[in-house]
Structure 1
């Protein structure tokens, strides 16, 4: 990434469009935490706009697609990328299932069982993060930690509570 290590190759704001909809207070809290974590630490730069950030990201849903509308900090439009959510459906579904198992295990299982489930949960999260990086390749330069935080946000966008 040409602009890595600079404060320009990063997100400074994330907005969820009304198309995403609202949910329970718990889900809204998880979304806010995911956005906060992503803004706190990220590496994000549209390939077509190397180093001209920092950037704002507006996420919206259009049919079965996630729309990344990227602008500069001053609001000037940069680029819009649209990703199909289809490649994420299985991963997100499996991730939710294993998260449920993990939270159930915390209440009643042995530490070794909890650790085994958590390893599976982290593995699925990594798989989703890598899929997101692959889908954004050639469009937006992000590092793996940013992909992990973005995948967390994609998951919470699917979570209805």
Structure 2
């Protein structure tokens, strides 16, 4: 018996980049996290700009004035959309996720497997909440599935972390 191969979806990402790329403030764990998220995204994703006939698409993520800029082009480079997404509603989730990830990394060698599993469960819960929020916030511009949203949140977290380490601020400055 032979299995029929299905054609790849037109509503998927074929390339992802971060602007700026993760730089000198990034540790090996974060670089690995980025590589895994991008690999998993390119392997399996659902990415459908509303009212567009199909891709595949290239996605560039950047932070400008405390906003996530999602620049989407077709595979051939033709512009599809540029969406600016406020990160205000993600602020608590981004901070909680960063704290849980740091806690896991700093105590990994000292804790029992039960304790590490509890920390990881907390990380997954925050990740799930953030991916649901991302799906909700993008629904008028881009349709994505849960797995795509989870991996995109990982990349957003890495971009924000790099900006914070590089001297940028996620929160509003007050006088």
- Aligned pairs, number: 155
Q: Which residue of 2 aligns with 1:39?
A: 42
Aligned to 2:23: 22
Q: Aligned with 1:108: secondary structure?
A: coil
SS in 2 for 1:37: helix
Residues 1:120 and 2:134 are matched in the alignment: no
Secondary structure of the corresponding residue to residue 126 of structure 1: helix
Q: Which residue of 2 aligns with 1:53?
A: 55
Contact 2:18 2:159 in 1 (8 A): no
Give the TM-score taking structure 2 as reference length: 0.80
Could you tell me how far apart the structure 2 residues matched to 1:53 and 1:78 are?
9
Structure showing greater radius of gyration is 2
In 2, Cα distance between the equivalents of 1:117 and 1:29?
20
Q: Whole-Å Cα distance in 1 between the matches of residues 106 and 23 of structure 2? A: 26
**Counterpart among 7, 10, 34 of residue 9 in structure 2:** 7
CA deviation digits over 1:96-141, x for unaligned, max 9? 1111222234211222222221111110111111111111012101
CA RMSD of aligned residues (A): 2.0
Runs of 4+ in 1 over 4 A off after TM superposition: none
Q: Which residue of 1 aligns with 2:100?
A: 98
